[in-house]
């Protein structure tokens, strides 16, 4: 049985040492989601696992993932566009919008434990936010 | 003569079948636990009013409208409509599952007050009616104009869940006192 105190300690460790250095909610969500093994759904983080245990690291990362995801799902669409724009600027690439619109990598960002309705809203908002940014980029080119 | 014998045989068979149902007092524990799971799933996944409000939030519509891109506005309405339809389809399915459980099992097990059974039935019917009206409204006027009605659907579903929970509690403990919960709870 894992102690909640240990998991909370690992969450604090993650937030202060790793997530704080990432710019923006989307960057944090993508980072945490990328620590998950897509075949097993288990999260891995060597730093946290060495300070605590692998099981605690898994639980802490899952908790951070759910928190980040919930923050984004509960935000209005306008805030989502701002967050995505911030991420896009920090990871600037000309093909960013077309790649994300075509491959739809945001579909793997939802945590396993979240409900399907929230996942649907998240993916829908992501798609619309990308379309808004693409439309703005097109208008800028035209001007 | 043969007709009378056949009718008697049929009557005996029907009576035997009814007796079998009536004496089937024990509900398999897996059915009961599935009913609790369905109720929990409905409450946490399908009736969180805040999420439904978020899906149909006017501010999203106003924001996209201000972008002055007709295609994105059409996309937003189509996406939200699809989400509301998904929500309605799945919520209805879960509520129906719970109702089937009550009809099949619970009534054979607990000495339910007719008032409670009537309440469950009326809550079920009113939920189905509100669901259908919401579906029509979303199709005819778009998702953002159906927000108030979506709230009514959540409220109707929550009332059904409350009545259902009361019955499941009694099913869990057949000697439990039946207490009517306030309608506005």
pLDDT tens digit sequence for A25-73 = 999 999 999 999 999 999 999 999 999 999 999 999 999 999 999 999 9
Q: Write the residue in A78, A118, A124 that is nearest to B63 by C-beta.
A: A78
User: Which residues from chain A sit within 8 angstroms of residue B50, using beta carbons?
Assistant: 74
Please name the helix (run of DSSP H) or strand (run of DSSP E) that holds residue B95, with its range, or none. helix B70-101
Residue of chain B minimizing CA distance to A76: B60
Q: Give the pLDDT of chain B (185 residues) as one tens digit per residue.
A: 677 777 777 776 666 555 455 445 455 566 777 777 777 777 777 667 788 899 999 999 999 999 989 999 999 999 999 999 999 999 999 899 888 888 876 656 656 777 888 888 999 999 999 999 999 999 999 999 998 899 999 899 889 888 888 888 777 655 554 444 454 43
Q: What are the boundaries of each domain within chain B?
A: 27-172
Structural contact between residues A92 and A59, judged by C-beta atoms closer than 8 angstroms: no
Q: Quick one: tokens of B61? A: 């519509």
**Cα–Cα distance for residue pair B88/B161, rounded to 1 Å:** 15
Residue of chain A minimizing CA distance to B91: A117
User: Which residues from chain A sit within 8 angstroms of residue B86, using beta carbons?
Assistant: 117, 120
Report the Cα–Cα distance between both ends of chain B, in Å, rounded: 61
**Residue B110 confidence (pLDDT):** 56
User: Which residues from chain A sit within 8 angstroms of residue B88, using beta carbons?
Assistant: none
User: Which residues from chain B sit within 8 angstroms of residue A116, using beta carbons?
Assistant: 45, 90
Most B-contacting residue of A79, A106, A121 (CB-CB within 10 A), to test interface: A121
Shortest Cα distance, chain B CAs vs residue A121, angstroms: 7
Percent of chain A predicted with pLDDT > 90: 77
Number of A–B residue contacts, CB under 8 Å: 59
Q: Can you tell me which residue has the tokens 């939802």?
A: A110
Q: Is the ipTM of this complex over 0.85?
A: yes
* Inter-chain residue contact A76 with B59, CB threshold 8 Å: yes
**Residue B185 confidence (pLDDT):** 39
What residues contact B178, with CB distance under 8 A and at least 6 apart? B112, B113, B116, B166, B170
Shortest Cα distance, chain A CAs vs residue B45, angstroms: 6
**Cα–Cα distance for residue pair A42/B53, rounded to 1 Å:** 32
Give how far the C-alpha of residue B181 lies from the chain's centroid of Cα atoms, to the nearest Å.
Answer: 18
Report the residue count for chain B.
185
Residue of chain B minimizing CA distance to A120: B83
User: Which residues from chain A sit within 8 angstroms of residue B64, using beta carbons?
Assistant: 77, 128, 132
What SS3 string covers chain A? CCCHHHHHHHHHHHHHHCHHHCCCHHHHHHHHHHCECCCCCCECCHHHHHHCCHHHHHHHHHHHHHHHHHHHHCCCHHHHHHHHHHHHHHCCCCCHHHHHHHHCHHHHCCCCCCCHHHHHHHHHHHHHHHHHHHHHHHHHHHC
Shortest Cα distance, chain A CAs vs residue B28, angstroms: 28
**Cα–Cα distance for residue pair A66/A72, rounded to 1 Å:** 10
| Model confidence, pTM | 0.80
């Amino acid at each position: 049985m894992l102690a909640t105190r240990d998991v909370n300690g690992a969450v604090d460790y993650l937030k202060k040492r790793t997530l704080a250095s990432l710019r923006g909610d989307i960057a944090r969500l993508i980072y945490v989601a990328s620590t998950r093994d897509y075949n097993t759904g288990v999260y891995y983080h060597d730093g946290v696992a060495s300070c605590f245990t692998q099981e605690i690291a898994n639980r802490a990362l899952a908790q951070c993932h759910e928190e980040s995801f919930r923050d984004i799902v509960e935000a209005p669409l306008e805030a989502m566009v701002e967050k995505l724009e911030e991420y896009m600027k920090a990871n600037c690439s000309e093909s960013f919008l077309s790649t994300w619109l075509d491959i739809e990598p945001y579909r793997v960002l939802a945590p396993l434990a979240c409900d399907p309705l929230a996942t649907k809203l998240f993916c829908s908002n992501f798609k619309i936010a990308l379309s808004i940014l693409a439309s703005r980029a097109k208008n800028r080119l035209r001007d | 003569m043969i007709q009378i014998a056949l009718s008697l045989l049929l009557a005996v068979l029907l009576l035997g079948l009814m007796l079998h149902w009536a004496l089937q007092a024990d509900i398999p524990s897996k059915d009961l636990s599935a009913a609790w799971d369905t109720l929990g799933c409905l409450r946490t996944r399908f009736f969180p009013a805040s999420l439904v409000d978020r899906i149909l939030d006017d501010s999203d519509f106003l924001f996209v409208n201000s972008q002055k891109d007709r295609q994105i506005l059409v996309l937003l309405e189509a996406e939200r409509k699809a989400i509301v339809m998904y929500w309605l389809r799945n919520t209805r399915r879960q509520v129906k599952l719970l109702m089937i459980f009550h009809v099949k099992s619970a009534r054979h097990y607990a000495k339910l007050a007719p008032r409670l059974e009537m309440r469950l039935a009326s809550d079920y019917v009113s939920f189905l009616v509100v669901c259908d009206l919401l579906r029509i409204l979303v199709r005819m006027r778009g998702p953002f104009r159906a927000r108030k009605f979506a709230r009514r659907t959540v409220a109707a579903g929550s009332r059904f869940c409350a009545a259902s929970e009361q019955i499941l509690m009694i099913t869990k403990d057949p000697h439990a006192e039946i207490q009517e919960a306030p309608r506005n709870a």
